[in-house]
Amino acid sequence: MKTLIPFTKMVGAGNDFLLIDTIRHPLGARTPQWRAVSRALCGRHRGIGADGMLVLEPSTMADVRMRVFNPDGSEAKMCGNGARCVARYVHDRRRPARRHQHGSREVSIQTAGGLLGAIVRGDRVRMRLPDPTDLRLGLRVKAAGRTLEVASINTGVPHAVVPVHALDALDVAHVGRALRHHRAFGSHGTNVDFIQPHTTQRHCLRVRTYERGVEGETLACGTGVAASAVVHALTSGVSRGPHRAAGNGAPRAYSVNVETRSGDRMTVSFGVVPSGRGVRVTDLVLEGAARRICDGTIFWPLEGSHHLPVKAAR
């Protein structure tokens, strides 16, 4: 017997997602194996096509709980652009009770990577991300036949950030794949972001991302944009934003505009404070557009979906 599953397709700065709201549309005992569903539906040729699948569930600590499933069937702890799409969806469809200034509403989202908060104004979503961890600068990594200067940081999921001089000419698939599985980043690997300052616009960074779980380049990655902005600011001395806090030991405030492969512009703001021999990044905020593409329904299982392999969760 097949199960009817309603979905909404959304896009955030070039990242597209299939959103399944099990609160609004409870499936009960008919709930399928989401890893298999994601593996089948996210395929660009035999499915609907998406960079990931977002499943909304009830939460006792937030407006919703978000689970993130990659196209390869693995489950991720968090997704920045996915969370911003969820915030827009919750704002438009579920109307959270908490109001913010200027009539906007605040949306809270529970994830495996931490509790997120967002402010929605029109199609712009401003998302507060967890404080980054595991910051390592100045790594030298041999991959794809070359030695690369790399930084790594976890902005909800792990990222390796690589400055390059010719971003458009770079073979992102080849170099990204080599770094994604490199032993320097542990057994689960990493996402990989290649960055270059914009040639004509000051204080703007360009980024291309090879995403773990997608196993290829995507048009955007929210946590990758955040990771890229932080690393760029810490290593290049980018100008601080206009709201730098004063006082000894207070955070230095930064703001970086980032252009994704899709051509969309996002803004990343954060503070930096001394911590031991290094620094700690705090108040990390990611802002950009998020919008609904369409609503639809699918019958599960899809014809032939039982032939699609599902990888274990990461």
Cite the active site residues.
Answer: 79, 221
**Considering only CA atoms, which of 222, 190, 207 is closest in space to residue 87?**
222
Amino acid making up residue 296: G
Q: Which long-range contacts (CB under 8 A, 24 or more apart) does 1-6 make?
A: 2/299, 2/300, 2/301, 3/27, 3/30, 3/32, 3/299, 3/300, 4/297, 4/298, 4/299, 4/300, 5/32, 5/37, 5/297, 5/298, 5/299, 5/300, 6/295, 6/296, 6/297
Going from the C-alpha of 298 to that of each of 35, 39, 79, 289, 301, the distances in angstroms are 16, 14, 24, 27, 9
**Considering only CA atoms, which of 5, 38, 11 is closest in space to residue 213?**
38
Distance CA 221, CA 14 (A): 8
**Considering only CA atoms, which of 42, 32, 22 is closest in space to residue 89?**
22
SS3 letters across 177-196: HHHHCCHHHCCCCCEEEEEE
3-state class (DSSP) for residue 221: coil
Could you tell me the two tokens for 80? 């920045």
Distance CA 129, CA 159 (A): 15
Could you tell me the two tokens for 202? 């000051």
